[in-house]
Amino acid sequence: MYLATKQLTKQFGGLHAVNEVDFTVEKGKINAIIGPNGAGKSTFFNLISGVHKPSSGQVIFKNVDISNLPSNKIAKLGVARTFQTTNLFEKSTVFENVIVGHRLRTNSNLFDAIFRTKRLQQEEERSKEKALEVLDFVGLTKSAERVVANISQEEKKRVAFALALATNPEIVFLDEPTAGVNPDETEELSSLIVKMKERGITVCLIEHKMQMIMEMADKIMVLNYGKKIAEGTPNEINNNEQVIEAYLGRSASA
Amino acid sequence: MPKKFEKYIVIFFIVLAIIFPLITQNDYYIHIMTLAFIWSIAVYGLNLLAGYTGYLSLAHAGFFAIGAYAVGLLTVKIEMGFWVAFILAPIITAVIGFFIGIISLRTKEHYFAIYTLCVGYVIYLIIDKWDSLTEGVRGLMGIPAPANIGPISFTTPLSQYYLVLAILLLVIFIIYRIINSLVGRTFIAIRNSEPLALSLGISTIKNKLLSFVLSTFFAGLAGALYASFVRFLGPDIASTAITFDLLMYLIVGGIGTLFGPIVGTTLIVWISQNLQFLQDYRMLIFGPLLTILIIFAPRGIMGIIGDWKVKSSEKKRNKEAQKSQSELKKEA
Amino acid sequence: MEILIQQLFNGLTIGSIYSLVALGLTLVYGILHIPNFAHGAIYMIGGYITLTMMTYVGVNYWISIAVSIIVVGVLSVLMERLVFHPLRNTIIINNKIAAIGILLFLEALAQLIWGADFRQMSSPYNQVLNLFGVTFTVQRLLIIVAAIVVMVLLYLFLKKTFIGRTIIAMSQNREGAFLVGINANKVAMLTFFVAGALAAIAASLTSPINLVFPGMGHLVILKAFVIIIIGGMGSIPGAILGGYLLGFTESIGATYISGDYKDIIAFILLIIILTIKPNGIFAKGEH
Ligand SMILES: Nc1ncnc2c1ncn2[C@@H]1O[C@H](COP(=O)(O)OP(=O)(O)OP(=O)(O)O)[C@@H](O)[C@H]1O
Ligand SMILES: [Mg+2]
């Protein structure tokens, strides 16, 4: 088992945002989580990445219980994530934004900074190289020196990917990576996600765009009101009664 | 604008600061400038925390006062040697800052601002009321001027000016090194978004504490200089009014910019000098100025210059892009 | 025993003032999530307007208070329109700095107009009463009663009128309120008016037993912040209870511990509370 949740539960007051979810992420695959708005998908990610502590249940990563580790420690283990809303530093350039992504793999401290030690210089060099490398990977080499405020939504999504990749992750969690971008751009972002998988990075993503999920996912889990209602290949999910009902039921009442 | 050009500007201002006393030949102006430099050092501390890390501490004058009173009490009450006291003062401030930081940084945003405002007030109240130690409102007198170092003495305004200038330049240099390193980038990442920074594996707790301690260290250093320069201390230096002054210097010069603190502080201190007749009413102008700046130019003078640079480079990029496009068309 | 009762009575008086100021602060916080550092200056202006109306214009105490309510209420609304409204989408640090700018301006303005000295406001209710061994002026009794009346009126306004209910709705859920077509601008302005009015009332009530001076808002506003943190930022009952609680604690602390350090009680209280619960006592959920 690579990464798994066991009876994972999160309560906010009386609300069970995530309710006893068992899920296994397949290594080297694209794992997708779908579900109606408010189903608890983002909360599920937040539990795995340590933003929230679970009310009960566990998150196991490579046989280690990471349920109660803080986010930054989890990131160090090689678990990266992006957020539903990109929160980049708008006034800075793309390149400047991405450099800090490699910070967790460096050790320079205040002393190094003030005296500009060899270690700092080497690590800065390495962070910059890493930034260039991941920007190249996401196809933003040309925009590296542009200010984030001036780039498109789709480019911002790419910067967020680049940041996550700069942490040297072995698994990435992408929360609605294509929200708010047009169909053509969605296509391009999708192929970028596939490219990540080809690089050997395990991908786990939340998406609302069904067609895209069906095309690229190896495995899908469906959440509804915090509960896992289905899990399987795209084909299995497509024909699952409960899933159809969850989606139709909600959209009919909405 | 080429980097080289910026370097020349910086060198120009350093030279200007060095020859300034020779130009004015006026002890009073030298005195004012020395004070402005001392305040700048404190503002640099505030900038590191509020400007680069995003945490607005309203206890800054309190830490300034701790540094000042540390020098005052150590030299006057214990009769410690000046330089030992002077070196101990910022360290003591930073240690106190460390403990206050551990607790206050558990809070965020508004809570942090209110918390530190209260911490600042408590520091003020302690200095004011604990008069068996601090002499309270009577004030602490008889603080010695910096002791001679070998043949160099610091008794004249001129020598004090150069002492403070040297320390200020060192502070700016250290801050420059910090903010342009991975450490500074880490601070900025926290200011930008703590959840994002955490998700990138950054320990926000450690780094915020580091920033807080550094900021109190510089406040303490400025306080120590103030004590040995003014040589009389009253509880008022810990008051929120001073914190607000420091904040104003920072906002006018440019919060989150390297030269904002020195630009804002010297500018406002000089303007205030020339508005002597306004004295108590200077806030009639500076209060609204602060508010208007925050609305229309939140990153102050240096921010305006910075934005202008960004825009002109964007323009250049666009032009180049157009050019290369039209060239492509020509080829086709 | 008598001392205790006397102190409880004094605590009730101070607490009434704290509650009124904290109420304004918490209302504004609930709607706009702004900790309005300028609220203390608004309070101070309220004191001066009443003083001026009484001593220079020569109208009676109640009319002076009414004028003060209107002037300060309008001032408060202007502040919202000119400063906080344009800043609603910037980073949070900016709101606080802008508020500090206003605070500095208003204090300098007060000093320019009225001078820096401490002023005494005479009240028509200076008679001394003696009841159950407790000595007090009618003014103190007036403070207590008036504060309760104001709170009841505020309660009725918030619960029984449409616009009042809107304020509550908005403070509970900003986005939701937008959805049902509430005019957020109007609500914000009204909230600021009410907050200003409450501050003006508090200052006018307390001035006869304290003094009027440019810095009179400093401590009050700091304590009001402490109160709303104790009571839960944005919570109305919390502000009222917290106000009285702090009033009692201070008044008893002043007698039994030290008069010198009574002002520190609030801050020590706050520091203890935030040390244990960094998000306030009544923090909802987690973030
Ligand atoms: N920090 C929080 N405090 C309280 N409730 C929360 C918190 N975060 C999420 N919730 C609630 O938990 C539920 C699940 O929210 P979540 O954001 O996980 O849904 P989602 O599946 O990601 O929805 P969407 O598709 O809209 O992004 C919602 O009802 C939400 O209101
Ligand atoms: Mg979500």
Q: Residue C17: pLDDT band by 50, 70, 90 thresholds?
A: very high
Q: For residue A20, what are its two tokens?
A: 């006893």
A9, A88, A176 from A46: Cα distances, Å = 12, 18, 13
Average pLDDT (C31-49) is 91
| Contact yes or no for C214/C111 (Cβ under 8 A) | yes
Q: For residue B25, what are its two tokens?
A: 């030949």
Reply yes or no on whether the pLDDT at B1 is more than 50: no
Query: What residues of C are in contact with residue B242 (Cβ under 8 Å)?
Result: none
E strands, chain B, where?
Answer: 140-141, 232-233
If 0-12 CB within 10 Å is exposed, 13-18 middle and 19+ buried, where does residue A223 land? buried
Residues in chain B: 332
Hey, whose CA ends up nearest to atom 16 of ligand 1? A40
Average pLDDT (B217-244) is 94
- Containing domain of residue C14, as a range? 2-117+126-276
Of the given ranges (B80-94, B170-184, C55-69, C268-282), which has the lowest mean pLDDT?
C268-282
Q: Which of C78, C97, C223, C262 to mutate to test the interface with B (most CBs of B within 10 A)?
A: C97
Return d(Cα B102, Cα B109) in angstroms, integer: 15
Reply yes or no on whether the pLDDT at C285 is more than 60: no
pLDDT score for C287: 36
Exposure on the CB side of residue A178, measured as CA atoms within 13 A: 20
Return d(Cα B136, Cα B144) in angstroms, integer: 19
Query: What residues of C are in contact with residue B115 (Cβ under 8 Å)?
Result: 270-271, 274
Q: CA torsion sign, C116 to C117 to C121 to C126?
A: positive
Q: Which atom of ligand 1 is nearest to the CA of A226?
A: 14
Residue C166 maps to a domain = yes
Hey, whose CA ends up nearest to atom 12 of ligand 1? A17
Min CA distance, A89 vs chain B (Å)? Answer: 6
| Contact yes or no for B166/B37 (Cβ under 8 A) | no
CB contact under 8 A, C285 and A13: yes
Contact status of B79 with chain C (Cβ, < 8 Å): no
In this structure, what DSSP letter does residue B47 have?
I
Of the given ranges (A105-119, B79-93, B140-154), which has the lowest mean pLDDT?
B140-154
pLDDT score for B6: 81
Instruction: Please tell me which chains touch A, using 3 or more CB pairs under 8 Å as the contact test.
Output: B, C
Reply yes or no on whether the pLDDT at A48 is more than 80: yes
CA quadruple B275, B276, B277, B278: dihedral, nearest 10: 60
**B292 or B279, higher pLDDT:** B292
B43, B261, B264, B332 from B301: Cα distances, Å = 15, 10, 8, 47
Min CA distance, C112 vs chain A (Å)? Answer: 41
Return d(Cα A115, Cα A102) in angstroms, integer: 21
Q: Which of C104, C263, C265 to mutate to test the interface with B (most CBs of B within 10 A)?
A: C104
| Contact yes or no for B67/B219 (Cβ under 8 A) | yes
A204 membership: H or E segment, kind and range: strand A202-206
- Amino acid B313 reads S
Q: What angle do CA C271, C274, C278 make, to 5 degrees?
A: 155
Number of domains into which chain C is organized: 1
Residue C154 maps to a domain = yes
* B314 closest CB neighbour out of A127, A150, A166: A150
**C281 or A79, higher pLDDT:** A79
Min CA distance, C212 vs chain A (Å)? Answer: 46
Residues contacting residue B203 through CB under 8 Å, at least 6 positions apart? A70, A72
Q: Which atom of ligand 1 is nearest to the CA of C287?
A: 1
pLDDT score for A105: 94
Report CA(A17)–ligand 1 centroid distance (Å): 6
Reply yes or no on whether the pLDDT at B309 is more than 60: yes
pLDDT score for A252: 42
Hey, whose CA ends up nearest to atom 31 of ligand 1? A38
Reply yes or no on whether the pLDDT at C20 is more than 90: yes
Q: Scanning every residue of chain B, which has its alpha carbon at the shortest distance from the alpha carbon of C29?
A: B110
Query: What residues of B are in contact with residue C282 (Cβ under 8 Å)?
Result: none
Q: Which of B99, B118, B121, B193 to mutate to test the interface with C (most CBs of C within 10 A)?
A: B118
CB contact under 8 A, B185 and A147: no
Of the given ranges (B78-82, B170-174, B272-276, C195-199), which has the lowest mean pLDDT?
B272-276
Phi, psi of A205 (to 5 degrees): -135, 155
Average pLDDT (C54-82) is 92
Reply yes or no on whether the pLDDT at C180 is more than 70: no
Domain ranges of chain A: 1-78+170-254, 89-168
The pTM of this model reads 0.91
Q: For residue C192, what are its two tokens?
A: 């600021």
Q: Residue C286: pLDDT band by 50, 70, 90 thresholds?
A: very low
Helix (H, G, I), strand (E, B), or coil: what is residue A27? Answer: coil
Residues contacting residue A130 through CB under 8 Å, at least 6 positions apart? A99, A101, A102, A105, A166, A168
Q: Scanning every residue of chain B, which has its alpha carbon at the shortest distance from the alpha carbon of C92?
A: B109
Residue C242 maps to a domain = yes
The per-residue pLDDT for range C100-155, each reduced to its tens digit, is 999 999 999 999 999 888 988 887 887 888 877 777 788 888 899 999 999 999 99
Min CA distance, C273 vs chain B (Å)? Answer: 10
Min CA distance, C34 vs chain B (Å)? Answer: 8
Q: Give the largest Cα separation in chain A, rounded.
A: 65
Residue C285 maps to a domain = no
Residues 123-162 on A with a CB inside 8 Å of B are 123-124, 127, 145-147, 150
CA quadruple A193, A196, A198, A199: dihedral, nearest 10: 170
Hey, whose CA ends up nearest to atom 25 of ligand 1? A37
DSSP string, B206-229: HHHHHHHHHHHHHHHHHHHHHHHH
| Contact yes or no for B261/B250 (Cβ under 8 A) | yes
Hey, whose CA ends up nearest to atom 11 of ligand 1? A17
Query: What residues of A are in contact with residue C284 (Cβ under 8 Å)?
Result: 13
Q: Using H for helix, E for strand and C for coil, what is the string for chain C? A: CHHHHHHHHHHHHHHHHHHHHHHHHHHHHHHHCCCCCCHHHHHHHHHHHHHHHHHHHCCCHHHHHHHHHHHHHHHHHHHHHHHHCCCCCCCHHHHHHHHHHHHHHHHHHHHHHHCCCCECCCCCCCCEEEECCEEEEHHHHHHHHHHHHHHHHHHHHHHHCHHHHHHHHHHHCHHHHHHCCCCHHHHHHHHHHHHHHHHHHHHHHHCCCCCECCCCHHHHHHHHHHHHHHHCCCCHHHHHHHHHHHHHHHHHHHHHCCCCCHHHHHHHHHHHHHHHCCCCCCCCCCC
Query: What residues of A are in contact with residue C287 (Cβ under 8 Å)?
Result: none
Token pair 């607490």 is found at C15
Strand-pairing partners, residue A204, are A31, A173
pLDDT score for A49: 94
Report CA(B32)–ligand 2 centroid distance (Å): 56
CA-nearest of B107, B194, B114, B59 to C276 is B107
**C257 or B220, higher pLDDT:** B220
Q: For residue A225, what are its two tokens?
A: 């009101």
Strand-pairing partners, residue A232, are A220
CB contact under 8 A, A87 and B195: yes
Helix (H, G, I), strand (E, B), or coil: what is residue A28? Answer: coil
- Give ligand 1 pocket residues (Cβ under 6 A): A 12, 15, 17, 35, 37-43, 84; C 285, 287
Q: Which atom of ligand 1 is nearest to the CA of A52?
A: 1
Average pLDDT (A189-199) is 93
Of the listed ligands, the closest to the CA of A40 is: 1
Q: Residue C282: pLDDT band by 50, 70, 90 thresholds?
A: low
Average of per-residue pLDDT values in chain B: 90
Reply yes or no on whether the pLDDT at B177 is more than 80: yes
Q: For residue B212, what are its two tokens?
A: 């807080």
Residues contacting residue B53 through CB under 8 Å, at least 6 positions apart? B187, B188, B190, B191, B207, B208, B211, B212
Q: What angle do CA A107, A113, A118 make, to 5 degrees?
A: 70
The per-residue pLDDT for range C192-213, each reduced to its tens digit, is 999 999 999 999 999 888 889 9
| CATH class for the domain made up of A1-78+170-254 | alpha beta
Return d(Cα A192, Cα A203) in angstroms, integer: 11
Hey, whose CA ends up nearest to atom 26 of ligand 1? A37
Query: What residues of B are in contact with residue C222 (Cβ under 8 Å)?
Result: 117-118, 121
**A118 or C183, higher pLDDT:** A118
CB contact under 8 A, A100 and B188: yes
Q: Which of A85, A110, A167, A171 to mutate to test the interface with B (most CBs of B within 10 A)?
A: A110
Reply yes or no on whether the pLDDT at A184 is more than 70: yes
pLDDT score for A140: 93
Q: Residue B199: pLDDT band by 50, 70, 90 thresholds?
A: very high
Reply yes or no on whether the pLDDT at C176 is more than 60: no
Walk me through the domains of chain B, giving residue ranges and CATH numbers: 3-304 (1.10.3470)
Helix (H, G, I), strand (E, B), or coil: what is residue A149? Answer: helix
CB < 8 Å & 24+ apart, contacts of C127-131: none
Q: Which of A164-173, A202-211, C109-118, C138-147 has the highest mean pLDDT?
A: A164-173
Residue C282 maps to a domain = no
Of the listed ligands, the closest to the CA of A11 is: 1
Average pLDDT (B155-169) is 92
pLDDT score for C21: 95
User: What is the share, in percent, of chain B residues with pLDDT greater than 70?
Assistant: 97
Average pLDDT (C207-228) is 89
| Contact yes or no for A172/A165 (Cβ under 8 A) | yes
Report residue A142 CA to chain centroid gap.
Answer: 24
Contact status of B281 with chain C (Cβ, < 8 Å): yes
Return d(Cα C129, Cα C149) in angstroms, integer: 21
| Contact yes or no for B271/B279 (Cβ under 8 A) | no
Token pair 């702090």 is found at C246
CA-nearest of A87, A131, A69, A172 to B195 is A87
Q: For residue A101, what are its two tokens?
A: 């992504």
CB contact under 8 A, A52 and C286: yes
Q: For position C35, which CATH number holds?
A: 1.10.3470
Residue C252 maps to a domain = yes
Residue C265 maps to a domain = yes
A186, A209, A234, C226, C236 from A247: Cα distances, Å = 22, 13, 15, 48, 41
pLDDT score for C43: 96
Residue C33 maps to a domain = yes
Of the given ranges (A123-132, C61-70, C99-108, C254-263), which has the lowest mean pLDDT?
C254-263
pLDDT score for C139: 86
Average pLDDT (A164-188) is 92
Min CA distance, A225 vs chain C (Å)? Answer: 18
Of the listed ligands, the closest to the CA of A34 is: 1
**Model ipTM?**
0.91
Query: What residues of B are in contact with residue C35 (Cβ under 8 Å)?
Result: 110, 113-114
| Contact yes or no for B65/B221 (Cβ under 8 A) | no
